[in-house]
Structure 1
């Protein structure tokens, strides 16, 4: 979950059953926290571990994001880990230039369901996922993608090189813009006065009793959309596609460190959200900073095209992991045998020759051709963007460039010349010929 996002989750509400001993804390608009310093304004979102609220900091006169963890022991421990990580992050960035979310405060709050660990984070805007949706999945102009990618890379370089941290769950949802896409949703720009006390008669405003009503409304909307045969989208079907984002501040920060780990102490074998998961994680062959770089490449592609790079699905014949690996090989060529057979799960997925056991028919389509044919990139745009992405999608994790190296890449700095020498052009094309599409229906499934 985007822990300091200005937008509520697009999924169903968290459910009234989760408000019990060990679960969520029921927040009401106007509720005070930490001896009255923070006043709840409205709910921003929720996740499996916590709910997040917009709050007003009466001490600094700023709006903040208040993350309230479930009270059960395992959730409290997870919160303490995140607080530890966020404290290291903020202490190492006194100038606030590293493009990573800042922890402002943390405390415990007692309620009917137990004692809840709370984190106060700087209030940020919409997630990159919301930006992609706002743009109607059309893909952003490459200059805008470049601007966003630079911020993400600054954040990753800081986490990896200076702090020794792996994020482990990098994706558009966990990268937030500095401000909201719609100024009317910004608590400062909208001009609304902060709520400083509980509104009269607000027994459950914005909290548990509203959940059932919101859930029913959400289901009703989906039912109407299904009957009409249409797909719901932001602003309704009559809204024009938002392709000119010139008024939107595209500076952004990396957020959500609930699953982050120290490179020297990885604590979970299965990390990363499925679509952004690196091959070494699937194969259980160990992971390091380069795992984040794989997720970054997937995110950059999604920003530029509006589509996920990998969207695997299981079937009766093969599992989701096998489909995921097949999609990767369709994009990048056959996985080197040493890598395919070198993980703890390799024997379940590959034969001794390094071929998938249950998916034999692969259809290859180079990445640069995909960008040209499907997404209408120019030849130069496709070549240059692919030259940036392909090294990040190396099957061998140690061969992927670091965030620091990516920041020096010509594509990021927009110094790529279309009149490169024939020698360099030949090298670039040789790399690109290894790539294929993962966004088509594979023959023989």
Structure 2
């Protein structure tokens, strides 16, 4: 009989494979190394939670701090989404407190229905610690992936290389719902802090209560359903990881995006009270300038992210594309600031004077310095030293990437809105409510409006 394996460290290993416990897993799942004390709870289909009340039948998704499952609430016979946080995140998150506060508020704000509501919560003890479990209504895919599921009725969302491009009316509806939800949060002193496509979920618009359990269980006819069994490098039997990792199967077929739909803001894991800010986890490409410079911040960081998404949903191209080689924060920040300068214009002196590497890219009168053509650009110098790789000004950038059925009048209207939102000074940015009153959001009929 082999000896028992040592208890893994509560800290995640680096990219150095000598610190890993397992052979790599190729299935598109969370990282197997995250199953260790203080991190993810191992879950299998058929597992039950809260004294048998919730039974897991399908994997819906995962994130940096949790896994999400479709479960049956066997007490009231309904389907729910079960979010199981890592033990580490469970001990520090404000997510439950924020949801409980939202539940106390009168849902009179029109944006209240555009924030995913909490149904139940409890703590679960497992081999990796104590995990906060949050129960929500089941939701469909996120705006990060919904474009992939759209039918032929929305061809512009399926063009090769279109990324997260949506038809104009659909993009407007997604963003309108997100703004309504944000306004509801902001009016109650809550900052979301992680506004991104993956946290904008499409509501299911069929009655799941009429769907048989067998049809909602993990579909084992798909090409990839679960990973191969994890194998430790030392050959021992692991006590902290599951027997397999499940591949996420969002409930895309239960969302009809060709007609009226509802989008809701999810994941309050990064949210905070406006007067008690915490370290944000906004994706690097969606960071507002004040986050890059480590300045105080408030709800206007959510507004900046909306501006970035407005550009991306209508063009299929991110406003800022940070290079894969920027694995160090300083180089990533340099790339980010260079692209913002190219697209939006010169940084205010207050920011420029604090940019440690500004003189590497700009001369004494703030003119852009071209690199020596005889000196090869190395990875640690950033990706945007090359003049040919520089981004275009916003007006040119948007017009070159916009959808073919968008006329000049509408393009100008959207560019004007982008300029209003993407202000370097957070005090100059409009509120979510202000943006909803912009002419572009007010014009015309919207078949998706809810």
Output the TM-score relative to the length of structure 2: 0.71
Does residue 261 (structure 1) correspond to residue 272 (structure 2)? The answer is: yes
- Deviation by residue 1:19-69 (Cα, 9 ceiling, x = unmatched): 343332222222221122211111112223221111111233221111112
What secondary structure sits across from 1:28 in the alignment? Answer: coil
| 2:95–2:268 CA contact under 8 A, matched in 1 | yes
Matched, 1:325 2:353: no
Residue matched to 2:104: 91
Unaligned runs of at least 5 residues, structure 1: 1-9, 197-204, 219-233, 235-244, 417-445
Tell me the CA shift for residue 149 of structure 1.
1.2
The structure where helix makes up a greater share of residues is 1
Give 1:391 deviation, angstroms. 0.8
- Residue 248 of structure 1 and its aligned partner are, at CA, apart by 5.2
Q: 1:293 aligns with which of 296, 303, 308?
A: 303
The alignment partner of 1:301 has SS state of helix
1:404 aligns with 2:433: yes
Alpha-carbon shift at residue 265 of structure 1 (Å):
1.1
- The residue that corresponds to 1:6 in the other structure is none
Query: Which residues in structure 2 correspond to 1:137-216 (within 5 Å)?
Result: 138=162, 139-161=165-187, 163-179=188-204, 191-193=212-214, 209=229
Please tell me whether the aligned partners of residues 27 and 206 of structure 1 are also in contact (alpha carbons under 8 angstroms). no
1:56-104 deviation digits (Å, cap 9, x = unpaired) = 1123322111111223xx322234x211112112322546852111111
2:70, 2:80 within 8 Å by CA — same for their partners in 1? yes
Using structure 1 for the length normalisation, give the TM-score: 0.71
Equivalenced residue count is 360
Change (3 A) 1:331 1:77: same
140 and 347 in structure 1: CA distance in 2 versus 1, 3 angstrom threshold: closer
Who is 1:433 aligned against?
A: none
Contact 1:126-1:179 at 8 Å conserved across structures: no
Instruction: Find the counterpart in structure 2 of residue 338 from structure 1.
Output: 350
Encode CA deviations 1:249-285: one digit per residue, 9 max, x unaligned: 54201111111111111121x5410111111110112
CA distance in 1, matches of 2:131, 2:435: 40
Structure 1 residues 391 and 379: alpha-carbon distance in aligned structure 2, compared to 1, 3 A threshold: same
> What are the equivalent positions in structure 2 for 1:307-318 lying under 5 Å apart?
307-313=317-323
Equivalent pair of 1:128/1:177 in contact (CA under 8 Å): yes
Answer whether contact 1:27 1:207 (CA < 8 A) is retained: no
Counterpart in 2 of 1:229? Answer: none
CA RMSD of aligned residues (A): 3.5
* 1:6-405 paired onto structure 2 within 5 Å: 12-71=28-87, 74-79=88-93, 81-94=94-107, 97=110, 98=112, 99-134=114-149, 135-136=157-158, 138=162, 139-161=165-187, 163-179=188-204, 191-193=212-214, 209=229, 247=258, 249-268=260-279, 271-313=281-323, 319-341=331-353, 346-350=354-358, 365-375=392-402, 376=404, 377-405=406-434
Query: Any conservation in 1 of the 2:90–2:132 contact (CA below 8 Å)?
Result: yes
Alpha-carbon separation, structure 1, partners of 2:96 and 2:257: 36
Range that drifts further, 291-300 or 87-96: 87-96
Q: 1:91 to 1:355 in 2, by over 3 A?
A: farther
Any conservation in 1 of the 2:191–2:271 contact (CA below 8 Å)? yes
| Structure-1 residue corresponding to 2:11 | none
Q: CA deviation at 1:189?
A: 6.7
Residues 395, 353 of structure 1: CA spacing in aligned structure 2 closer, same or farther, 3 A cutoff?
farther
Matched residue SS, 2:141: coil
